[in-house]
Structure 1
Amino acid sequence: MSSNWLEQTRLCYESIELLDKVIIDLLFEKLDNPKDQVIIDNKVRNIIEMKQSKCLDLLILINDTDGAKNEEMQILSGQKSLTAGSRQPDVWFNFQQRLKDIKEFHKKYQNSTIQQIDKEFYLKNVFAPPYSEPKFTADEGNGKYVDMNVLYQEFLNFDLKKRMWLQTKNIIQEIMLDFFLKVQPLTDFQIIEKQIEQDFEYRWKEGTVNGWEKTDFEEKNQDERLFCQACQRLFKNESIFVHHLEGKKHKKNAKINEKYDQKINNNNNNNNNNNNNNNNNNYNYNNNEDDSKKETLAKLESFSIGLKQQLSEIIQETINQVKKRQTRTYQEIEAENTMEKVNNVQSESEDDEMPYNPKNVPLGPDGKPIPYWLYKLHGLGIEYKCEICGNFSYWGRRAFEKHFNEWRHSYGMKCLKIPNTVHFKEITSTKDALALHHKLSMESEYAQFNIETEEEFEDSEGNILNKKTYNDLKKQGLFQKTAILVKQLVLTLFISQIKSNETELIEGIKLIQMKTAYVIDDILQFLKSMEIQVQNEIQHTDEEIVRKTNEYTQEISILEKEDQEKKVKCLEYQNDLKEVEEQYNKLQEYILWLEQKISNNNLKIEDYHNERCEAHQMWIEFLRTSQNMVNFLEFLKEAVSNYSFIQISKINAVLARYKNDDNEFGIPTSEKLTVMLLELQQLNLKEDSEKYSDVAQSLNKERLRTDEEIGVGHIDNDKDYIDLEKFQGEDRRNVKYYKEQLIELIEKMEHNIKKQIQTRIDEEIKLNDDIAEFIIILEKELRTLNKELQEQKEVNENIKSIISNLKSLLEECDSHTSSYTVKIYEIKKQLEYYISSKNTYKQSLVVEYGEIKEITKLYEQNIAQTGIQYKAHYDDIINTNYANPNAQLYDRQLLNQYDSYRNPEDLEQKVQGVINVQQP
């Protein structure tokens, strides 16, 4: 019947819609049954596969791959006949023909059962073939733990000699993959597999795969001279390598590798035999094959490690469970098994019930709300927001502390370009994190060793200089140049001393004077340059101190401004908190007043109920007493009617003796009535008095109330009471008249009693109605007060939450204020440290500047002293050679020549020329 295209398409759409509803129901069921999450996930996966299959069938029908859609459209439009060989195509004819086919079909299969396709059908067949239900071992606990028994058995049976690494790793991969697909059926494993493969390929090319890193030997050359290919070993020296070639193990491995090469390379059957001079040409391995083996093993390891990372939580739970089992005793294990059975029975009975969770607390591992005291203990009602995580909310202190090591916070720190270290724990603001990172960077910069300024050098004279000053002096060549010039001066002096000629001596002295003048000029020039450099350095230091002081001052002002804002916020929060606490106290007083009023109303209602009970009890006693009186009067009436005149006289005499003047009818009290009945009984008036003995007893119990209950007013009883003794002497024929008169009196008394009973009944009814109405009013007021109390308590809870939030905000402001104070103090301390260090450096420069000035003054003094010495030597020469006629002329020439040497440009060339001539 569903062979036509339209019906098949409709059925596919209906099935897809039903499968969507089934998925939604299963997801809701997953929330209600946390223990069955893995089974429900597998059901959802099978339903999704069913839906994909239906969608594929629907796509085939819509694309009309077999032409069924086109044929159906032609039949519906009347362009084609439904049956072959029929008359001209017609829409109505096709309709009638199809209707006929439908009727015949249902007539033929009218007794067959129809399978209803609904949500229950799909849920029932969710694990029907070709789909399978996940099967877990007892140790896996429905996907909670990993069963390591199979892997452990493989490990125990592993043969190291055979080296079955590939098989073992394949087994590990298959077991972990099968478990992963069972516990996480909704995860797209192809994406994970692709990511693992891409990561492995990249790290394999880079040579950074864990356990498979490239060594320096492999990077340089795999065929080095001291590497044995047969044994895959690298030797330190040649002697050990040669000794290894003669060993049995090497020869055995060489034969095995040779056979292996013969199988792989069919074209190279004649390989060279082993010899003692093995140069690794006997073992031409297929390096590509070896690399592919290594890559396969490394890929399997990376794949297993990736699956381990995906199952890290379950593996950790397995480790904890194993440790727990190892520490438990037999009694504890039995007790836990018993509790599990009880919990399973209870959970089966409570599966259909929604957990009662009025306070919306989180659910525990058993799917039930956790206790409220535990909710309060862990502070799960307190919200913590982290700005670094994108203002994500964390409920409870434990979750807040745990999130600092989670991916969301790490990613936020990575976006800020800050390392997620312990220093940034409890920091949730991006501004605070950046400020702390800047501070830590500055501290590390100050703590780092600066080579340019802190490395020390010592010159040939023992002076301690920093690297910069030493390099500047070295670049100017002062050390080497001075040493060469001094050496040349000493040599010139030595030459001049060994010369005995007067002219050579004078020339030597002049040369020494000129060279010394040149050196001194150079030194003075260098000292002046050093003086200028020190002055510039001092000025630069002062400028840097000013600049840094301005930067730190600006930063301190910003922090002080933020600190002031936080303090203003703290004051606002304190004022708000004070107002809210005052409102909370007033509300508490109002709640106490409401509770007191409710308790008073409850007491009133209770008092009214008690009074009503007492009144009702008195009412019952009154009815009982009244009924007894009526019965007694009926007894008297019967006695008067049936007894003789003498007996009536006796009765009347007894009544006269016990007559009660305190009530309306003259009826005796309970005590008198009891005694009167006893006397009547002694009169032997048959058994009538015994008949009413129980009446006397009941009246005796309430003798103190009887007069009050019956007596309403007082009347004159003498006129209504008949004294029959005065008729004793009269004619007995008038007995009938007296009986009638006595009966009339008794009836009158009975009527009055019944009237009084009716009056009391009306009063009692009215009183009951009034009390009931008053109680209803009180109960209505009580309900109103309870409702108002509940509302005020809710308002009180809201105010409590507001107070807690304000307190948390106040604490946060206080912490920020304290942190700002600490930051300002640290910045000021850093500024003081920086200024002190720069001042120290400046002082050292000033000291250095003073030393340079002293050296300059010393050199000037030396120059003056040297000039005096030279003048003295010159005078000695002039005095000793005065006899020489050409001495004065020669002196003038030398003086002119000395004046010409004072030009610094030609001085060094001329002196160097003279020295070169005079050297032996």
Structure 2
Amino acid sequence: MASSVLEATRAAHEDIERLDRLAVLELQRDPANARDRLFQSHRVRHMLDLVISTSDKLVEIYEDKDCARKDEISTHLTAPVQSDIFPKYYERLKEIRDYHRRNHSARFISETDDYEELLKEEPAIEFTGEEAFGRYLDLHELYNEFINSKFRSLMEYSAYVGTFAQTEKISHSLKATRQYKEYLEHILEYLTSFMYRTEPLQDIEKIFTKLQSEFEEQWANGEVPGWENKVDLDYYNTVEEIVELGPEKLKEALTARGLKGGGTVQQRAERLFLLNFQHRPLEQLDRKHFAKGDDLKKEIALVEAKMKRLCEILDEEEVQADSESDDEDQQIYNPLKLPMGWDGKPIPYWLYKLHGLGQEFKCEICGNHSYWGRRDYERHFKEWRHQHGMRCLGIPNTKNFNEITSIEEAKALWERIQAKQGLNKWRPDLEEEYEDKDGNIYNKKTYTDLQRQGLI
């Protein structure tokens, strides 16, 4: 172990210096587009993580809890006997070589590595197709969770994407539930993951730490957005004046302060007046006045604040991304006018031919709407546009009308189906049977005529 500790220290410092130089070289490069900028950010993030992990190892070495470093230094300071100089030298040289042989894979950057090749590496970043390499959010799972919840609002997915962060539209009574908290945590988890993938150089932990301190102060003063104390108690001097607020406002004011919102109007007013009496702070009130879910509401409000902060950061980045995407769109070369894929680039020509996307199908029932490719054409018979057209014609959209796109053909087929159904359907006047007292059988029409004539 004679020189492993000191050599490990020297190698760690060398790795940090090389990583610093490589990060500087990387940041001096001007990325051509948003994709290259994302790769650059992830490469620098990886370098910073390596520097941090290596620095942590150095701290452990310098703390020297097992005194290994101290013993090794004392060994070096001890003057060897003249006859032991060369044996000691070769012994330490052998240990250094053995150390590097054993820890060869632990070196992040070797002096023989080509820096230019390292800077061209593309990090593996996982995005879904809907995210389009970090351009858009993929909120389909969260949308399904939202529309199946108790606090839902009926809206399309496109509207949800623009309003999912507007939590102030949801009432406090619906917010104070475990289901809502889990829903918020799922949103925060996704946005945090999206931030790590699209903005790797952002220090999210630092952002949340700063937000936490601001939130605690705002919560104590009742100033958290969406959870504000809307009733100013300084304007009310008696319980009777507070009663005039009405049951709903009293309940809202109590809920915002974490107090119980039940009971009669008089009881609610008396409970709220406890805060106004000698300006008593919440901490001095008896715990029996507090609602059981007060801590839950605070946790929910904090998660909401974190979610909105991440949305603000993403909104700021969206402006820059839009300007860059305009520049990239101008550079796309598409002489064959191929459709665009999820990545914003033309799809391969073989895929274009495979699905027959050059073949146009028009549907008169859909208002002469064009469908490109056989697959899209066949699928449209079950979609809303075709169903709406069939309802306007007064025709049921059954399998009998698949491949029918002409209004006249659809009407003619419907008339033939109705006529065929008319021959086979039940006709009670001719097919319903009656029996007289003598046991004679008649159909309904004949039996009614004979009965009118008094013959039976």
TM-score (normalised: structure 1): 0.26
TM-score (normalised: structure 2): 0.48
